[in-house]
Amino acid sequence: MRRCVVIPAVKKNAVIPDQLVKKLAGVPLINRAIDTAKACVRGEDIYVFTDSEEIGLICERAGVRHVRNPAFRFKSYDIVSEMGEFLAGLTGTYEDCVILRASCPLLTWVDIEDAWSAFKRKKTDCLITVRKIKQRLWRSGAETLDEAVAQAAVAAGQDEYVAETRALIIIRLAALGDREAKIMPWFLGERSIEILDYQDWWICERLLERRRVVFVVAGYPAIGMGHVYRALMLAHEISAHKIEFVCTRSSELGAAEIAARDYRVIRQGDENLAATVLGRRPDLVVNDFLNAPVNYMRALKEANVRTINFEDDGEGARLADLVINALYEDPDPPANVRCGPSYFCLRDEFLYATRNPLRPDVRVVLITFGGTDQRNFTLKVLNVIEPICRAFGIAIRIVTGPGYAHKERLEKRLAELENPLITFAWATNIMSRMMEGADLALSSAGRTVYELAHMRSPGIVFATHEREARHGFARARNGFAFAGLMDRVDDRKIRNIFLAMLKQKRRARYWERQDRLSFAGNKQRVVGLMEDQLEKTRTE
């Protein structure tokens, strides 16, 4: 069952001058179509139907056949009928013919093979590529609005329509001219774009120039969700490239959070992490999980994949092209490391939030310990400070993340307290609103402290583990009382520090230190560094 590929390439029908020989993303349009066809069939089974001597020469040099008719021009959308005589001449040599339009440059050989497989499986006579249009169609000749809507409803019977895309046609040559030939639609996604004007050209060029960026993240109760949230924030800023996520094997919680944002996400299976990541064919890998192993980083480097690591101070960091350690400070970092508060990325919601004024008395206290709070330090702190807050009429605002596994226990305790000044928010997406109006906060030592500093909410900080205790930003110079590791802090110490922070003089001093801080331009700085790495992939 032999097949051939026919590429219509009639310059007279071009919508842009010299469209077929003009370079799109560095490759002439006709050459791009020929290369796609060559991935499916031999050069001798490719025919370019053209009116151009120049295109004929390109075909000769590319090792494919061409048929030239200087006077030819397509006069309708029915190119099968207009090329009928030529196609009929192929029936003695081939069983089927694939008509590939050069004006649809996003089509890949994989699309052709998928369509071909369906065509043979369904045993149909003709396959036509189509796309869905979810909108109402209006009859222009209608005299009233009701008549126009009624005509559209009668014509379609629904609000979803199908339009032909002239990307691909597959025909059984023996069925040419048969008015009862069986036809099947084949749906294409974004790759169905046809160049009909300069805007289409620009869109196709931008899409072809996209790079594949793979974020590799970890997010589960033991480490929290900070890596996931930062990666999502940065991914939102990179709209010009294709974004995918890979989650480590244990990151079921992180994978669910990412999938809820409509990103493509793959969780590591039985294979090693490098195999999962390299299977995505990335141009740039952004590693946002605890210290990337040396063997993993070496595998990426040997595959010539550029890498950016976040919060990595392990041995694998030296193999990364760029390391961004906003939570760590080093007066003399290696050449590939950028560190310190200048590289902390503030989410957009905080840029438009109202920063807290300094009030003479504490009216609202915020309790938040990240996305998981595995130790349930939220409940421990609440039990210590609630009697004090009740006595002074201070409202308590509790915020926990989606990975907080002690929700029922906390809600039971809140019911027991019957304190109308306590509010509880679980898995909120508006953390800036939770921080607005908070005169004092109790939190862990992750990225939350930077957000609190931006909002001018002095706080008491407890480190979840030894690694977090090394985050040097959460100190008095930036408006925070660092209380140490959670496991080593007893109720008495929590109470004493809390009472000390209620004093206006100390809190005012901390507030003033936070008032001098600014993280507004940091995210664009980091995104710029990422784009620099992407630009380097173009020249490698």
- pLDDT of res. 92: 86
For residues 403 and 3, the model is more confident at 3
* Statement: residue 487 has pLDDT above 90: yes
Among 72-81, 119-128, 160-169, 458-467, where is mean pLDDT lowest? 160-169
**Are domains 210-345+525-539 and 354-515 of this chain identical in fold?**
yes
Tell which wins on pLDDT, 540 or 54. Answer: 54
Q: Which residues have CB under 8 Å from 529's CB, separation 6+?
A: 308, 322, 324, 338
Task: Give pLDDT, residue 402.
Answer: 85
The CATH architecture that domain 3-207 belongs to is Alpha-Beta Complex (3.90)
Does CATH place domain 210-345+525-539 in 3.40.50.11190?
yes
Angle made by CA atoms 42, 45, 47, in degrees to the nearest 5: 125
Range with lowest mean pLDDT among 57-66, 101-110, 188-197, 392-401: 188-197
| In the chain, % of residues over pLDDT 90 | 75
Radius of gyration of the chain (CA): 31
Residue 229 CA to residue 348 CA, distance in Å, equals 13
Q: In this predicted structure, what is the pLDDT of residue 26? A: 92
Q: Give dist(CA 154, CA 219) in Å, integer.
A: 51
Cβ pair 442, 366 in contact under 8 A: yes
For 12, phi then psi, to 5°, come to -65, -25
User: How much is the pLDDT for 328?
Assistant: 84
How far apart are the C-alpha atoms of 442 and 371, rounded to whole Å?
14
Q: Give residue 286's pLDDT.
A: 98
Residues 322-370: tens digit of each pLDDT? 999 998 888 889 999 999 999 999 999 999 999 999 999 999 999 999 8
- What is the phi-psi region of residue 121: left when phi exceeds 0, alpha when psi lies from -120 to 50, beta otherwise? alpha
- How high is the pLDDT of residue 137? 65
175, 124 Cβ separation under 8 angstroms: no
Kindly report, residue by residue over 377-416, the tens digit of the pLDDT.
999 999 999 999 999 999 999 999 888 999 999 999 999 9
Lowest mean pLDDT among 4-8, 97-101, 163-167, 524-528: 163-167
The full set of domain ranges for the chain reads 3-207, 210-345+525-539, 354-515
By CB neighbour count within 10 A (0-12 exposed, 13-18 middle, 19+ buried), where does 321 fall? middle
pLDDT score of 206: 92
Residue of 29, 52, 71 lying closest to 208 (CA atoms)? 29
Architecture of domain 354-515: 3-Layer(aba) Sandwich (3.40)
489-510 mean pLDDT: 97
> ∠455-456-461 over CA atoms, to 5°?
95
